[in-house]
Amino acid sequence: MLAVGTVVWLASELMFFSGLFAAWFSLRSTNDIWPPAGVELETVRTAVATAVLVASSFTMHAGTRAAEDGRSPSSRRWILLTAALGTLFLANQGLEYAGLDFSVSSHAYGSMFILMTGFHGLHVLAGIGLMLAVLATTSGRTRLALAGPVGVTSYYWHFVDVVWVAMFATIYLLG
- Kindly report whether the global pTM for this prediction surpasses the value 0.95: no
Domains of the chain in sequence order: 2-25+40-174 (1.20.120.80)
Largest CA distance in the chain: 60
User: pLDDT tens-digit profile of 17-39?
Assistant: 999 999 999 999 998 899 998 89
115: enclosing H helix or E strand: helix 108-137
Q: How far apart are CA 49 and CA 54, in angstroms?
A: 9
Block means of pLDDT (10 residues each) for the chain, 175 residues, are 83 94 95 90 97 98 93 93 98 96 93 97 97 86 76 95 97 92
How many CB atoms are located within 10 Å of the residue 36 CB? 14
What is the torsion angle, in degrees rounded to the nearest 10, for the CA atoms of residue 149, residue 150, residue 152 and residue 154? 160
Supply the pLDDT for residue 16: 94
